[in-house]
Structures are given as structure tokens and as C-alpha cells.
Amino acid sequence: MATKPIEVHRVYEDRKGSRSEYRVLVDRLWPRGLAKSELRIDEWAKDLAPSTELRRWYGHDPERFGEFSRRYLEELRRRPAPGAASTLLDAAAHRSEVVLLTATKDVEHSGAVVLAGYLRRRRRRPSQRTSISSRD
């Protein structure tokens, strides 16, 4: 069975998407200038976003992206994120693809890209997903 893709899109450039996509806003804050009615999402996963402290430290400085990624992955392993990630992957299982939406201008150096990699790795290890989510 082919693995369904997990993509990252900028929310301002992809407000509606396809009905076959499972669309998840992965920013802690709602995108500036967008009404909730203007954006089609299936879930707003605030719990999977970087902490406020980490987001402020990073400041979207590409030179800090490596360290930001390391710290964010550590947060994802510690916080309620393992259960939230399992829930997101389970909910998205019946869709053709998962689209993570972010308002950040530099998508390549965003938390959404780090989260997409984390979710791809978790999806490849279903036994770990089950054992982690059973502890939540």
C-alpha cells in the first residue's frame, strides 16, 4: 500500500484545497487577516505547534533553523504531541493526503516542515504509534 503524502502549504496561498485532503492548521496562532470562514481546515492542531518560548527564540532566523528543529523535535517527544500526532494520523487515514497549513512566509524554514518530517517518521512505525497513544 502506498504511503499517502504529507505536504506543507502556506495558508494564504491555499485557503480551500481539495476535499480529498485532510487539512490541518499547525500554527499556535490563527493566521493574521483571515476569517475562519475563509479557510477550509479539518483540524487546528495548536498542541502540535512549537511552544511560544521556542517560537520567540527562533524568530524565523534561518541560521537558527537547525537548532530550532532539534529543540522542536524534543518538544514533540515530550509534550502531549505523541498522542496528538497519532490522533491526527488516524483521522487523516481515509484521505488521499495530509496538508499541514502554516502562515509563515518562509515555509522551508518553518515548524510545519519539521512537523511533517516527524509525522512521516511516525507513520512508518505504527507499532510505536499505538504504544505511545495508549499511554496518553
**Segment 76-116, tens digit of pLDDT:** 888 765 666 777 777 766 677 889 999 999 999 999 999 99
In the block, which residue shows the cell 499547525? 26
1 belongs to a structural domain = no
Per-residue confidence (pLDDT) for residue 5, from 0 to 100: 85
Instruction: Say yes or no to pLDDT of 130 above 50.
Output: no
By C-alpha distance, which of 120, 115, 133, 2 is closest to 54? 115
With a CB cutoff of 8 Å and minimum separation 6, the contacts of 1 are none
pTM: 0.82
Q: Buried b / exposed e across 82-118, counting CB within 10 Å, b at 16+?
A: bbbbbbbbeebeebeebbbbbbbeebebbbbbbbbeb
Domains: count for the chain: 1
Instruction: Say yes or no to pLDDT of 117 above 50.
Output: yes
Encode pLDDT of 7-56 as tens digits.
Answer: 999 999 988 888 888 899 999 999 999 999 999 999 899 989 999 999 99
Query: What angle is formed at CA 75 by the lines to CA 97 and CA 62, rounded to 5 degrees?
Result: 75
For residue 48, give its domain range. 6-135
**CA separation for the pair 131, 53 (Å, rounded):** 29
By C-alpha distance, which of 96, 99, 92 is closest to 39? 99
Instruction: Say yes or no to pLDDT of 135 above 60.
Output: no
72 belongs to a structural domain = yes
Strand pairing class (6-10; 43-44): unpaired
C-alpha cell at 78: 515530550
Instruction: Say yes or no to pLDDT of 126 above 60.
Output: no
